[in-house]
């Protein structure tokens, strides 16, 4: 059965993909072939046996591993690693790294959901309370003010205005965010992958995460290719041949142009905006001492540690910011209820 006909229940989620890839790597290291791995794991998980049979069928027809994985809805980053693995031969290591990457991705997503779920519930409750106050309590205050001929102070007017319009502000902000996302997607359709990467690399907050992510991938895959005996020119040619990652292809084309103009590889690399500046220095140093393959692999691991540390910092900062915003909303609600009452009491 073709991959397109597989039901959602028979597809692997991110965590399942990660676990499968790690297990496959361990079995390859113990002498199993990839087909034997798929047959064995298919028998262990009968719910996914149809998918495993489809994977086996694709490989037996001679399809590249990355194409088979891509057609079965595996993560695009994993498929890119499989593409390079077929070139450099370190399939087991690529599966291991891909599996760990997906398991980290799943863990980080769960942490983010855990951090956000309680504040989001509180926010929804507060918005509901604000709507009730706007429709029931505030009109009575206004009626009372009119019957007493009382004019609220400017501070009370501001609080009442915020309370009355909180739902509209929330809807307006939500619509603005949604419209921005749609507009960005429409604009990106007219841009090249390199232009999009340059845009992400220019954003102050996004830049550090995006450049680390791209640097980890390139430095690790280039390291494996160099270990397999490929030259940098051959690596660029390999990057040009793949079509499912436009950024890699366009990067290879840009590097090739620079090399034809007489630039060294490290100088050509310095014109690529979406990688860490240190990678250029690592490449230049590795070219001089002949150990570029090992240095790129070590550098990839260092970048991975930095990315994990940055991600944890963000997760720890997000929750206090959300709670501060909720606290501000609670304060506005209390002020909208009690300030008018105090003002009325003082005026009597």
Q: What is the mean pLDDT of residues 106-114?
A: 82
Q: What is the mean pLDDT of residues 278-303?
A: 90
Range in 12-16, 42-46, 131-135 with the lowest mean pLDDT: 131-135
Asked if 130 and 162 count as a contact pair (C-beta separation under 8 A), the reply is no
Rounded-to-integer distance, Cα 269 and Cα 207, Å: 17
Question: Residue 231 above 90 pLDDT?
Answer: no
Name the band, by pLDDT with cuts 50, 70 and 90, for residue 52.
Answer: very high
Name the band, by pLDDT with cuts 50, 70 and 90, for residue 10.
Answer: low
CA distances from 173 to 129, 151, 161, 321, 327 (A): 19, 31, 17, 17, 19
Q: Coil, strand, or helix at residue 228?
A: coil
Non-local (6+) Cβ contacts of 291 within 8 A are none
Asked if 302 and 278 count as a contact pair (C-beta separation under 8 A), the reply is no
Name the band, by pLDDT with cuts 50, 70 and 90, for residue 303.
Answer: very high
At residue 150, the pLDDT reads 60
At residue 228, the pLDDT reads 84
Rounded-to-integer distance, Cα 211 and Cα 250, Å: 16
Of 341 and 77, more confident: 77
Q: What is the mean pLDDT of residues 315-341?
A: 73
Q: What is the pLDDT of residues 243-266, one digit of tens each?
A: 778 898 999 999 999 988 888 888
Q: Quick one: tokens of 194?
A: 């390199």
Is the entire prediction scored with pTM above 0.75? no
Question: Residue 7 above 90 pLDDT?
Answer: no
At residue 346, the pLDDT reads 65
At residue 4, the pLDDT reads 47
Burial of 306 (0-12, 13-18, 19+ CB in 10 A): middle
Q: What is the mean pLDDT of residues 81-99?
A: 89
Classify residue 95 as left (phi > 0), alpha (psi -120 to 50) or beta.
alpha
Name the band, by pLDDT with cuts 50, 70 and 90, for residue 313.
Answer: confident
What does the chain come to in residues? 348
Non-local (6+) Cβ contacts of 329 within 8 A are 123, 126, 130, 166
Question: Residue 212 above 90 pLDDT?
Answer: yes
Q: What percent of the chain has a predicted confidence (pLDDT) above 90?
A: 30
At residue 3, the pLDDT reads 47
Rounded-to-integer distance, Cα 225 and Cα 227, Å: 5
**Per-position DSSP letters for 28-82, written without gaps between them:** HHTT--HHHHHHHHHHH-GGGHHHHHHHHHHHHTT--HHHHHHHTT--HHHHHHH
Name the band, by pLDDT with cuts 50, 70 and 90, for residue 1.
Answer: very low
Q: What is the pLDDT of residues 266-277, one digit of tens each?
A: 888 988 989 999
Asked if 212 and 224 count as a contact pair (C-beta separation under 8 A), the reply is no
Question: Residue 345 above 80 pLDDT?
Answer: no
Mean pLDDT of the chain: 84
């Amino acid at each position: 059965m073709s991959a397109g006909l597989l039901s959602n229940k028979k597809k692997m989620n991110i965590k399942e993909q990660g676990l499968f890839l790690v297990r496959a790597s361990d079995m390859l290291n113990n002498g199993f072939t990839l087909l034997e791995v798929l047959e064995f794991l298919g028998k262990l998980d009968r719910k996914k046996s149809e998918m495993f049979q489809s994977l086996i069928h694709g490989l037996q027809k001679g399809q590249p591993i990355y194409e088979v994985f891509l057609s079965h809805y595996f993560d695009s980053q994993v498929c890119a690693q499989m593409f390079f693995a077929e070139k450099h031969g370190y399939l087991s290591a690529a599966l291991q790294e891909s599996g760990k990457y997906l398991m980290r991705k799943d863990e980080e997503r769960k942490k983010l959901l855990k951090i956000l779920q309680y504040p989001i519930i509180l926010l929804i409750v507060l918005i509901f309370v604000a709507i009730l106050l706007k429709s029931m309590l505030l009109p009575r205050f206004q009626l009372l003010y009119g019957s007493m001929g009382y004019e609220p102070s400017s501070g009370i007017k501001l609080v009442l205005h915020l309370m009355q319009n909180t739902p509209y502000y929330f809807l307006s902000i939500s619509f603005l965010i949604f419209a921005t996302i749609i507009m960005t997607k429409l604009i990106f359709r007219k841009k090249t992958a390199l232009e999009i990467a340059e845009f992400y690399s220019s954003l102050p907050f996004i830049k550090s995460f995006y450049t680390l992510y791209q640097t980890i991938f390139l430095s690790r895959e280039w390291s494996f290719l160099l270990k397999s005996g490929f030259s940098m020119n051959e690596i660029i040619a390999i990057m040009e041949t793949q079509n499912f990652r436009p950024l890699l292809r366009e990067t290879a084309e840009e590097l090739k142009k620079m090399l034809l103009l007489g630039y060294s590889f490290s100088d050509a690399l310095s014109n690529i905006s979406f990688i860490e500046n240190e990678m250029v220095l690592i490449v230049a140093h590795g070219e001089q001492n002949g150990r570029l393959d090992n240095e790129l692999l070590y550098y990839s691991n260092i970048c991975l540690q930095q990315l994990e540390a940055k991600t944890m910092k963000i997760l720890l900062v997000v929750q206090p910011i959300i709670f501060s915003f909720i606290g501000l909303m609670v304060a506005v609600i209390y002020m909208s209820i009690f300030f008018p009452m105090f003002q009325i009491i003082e005026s009597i």
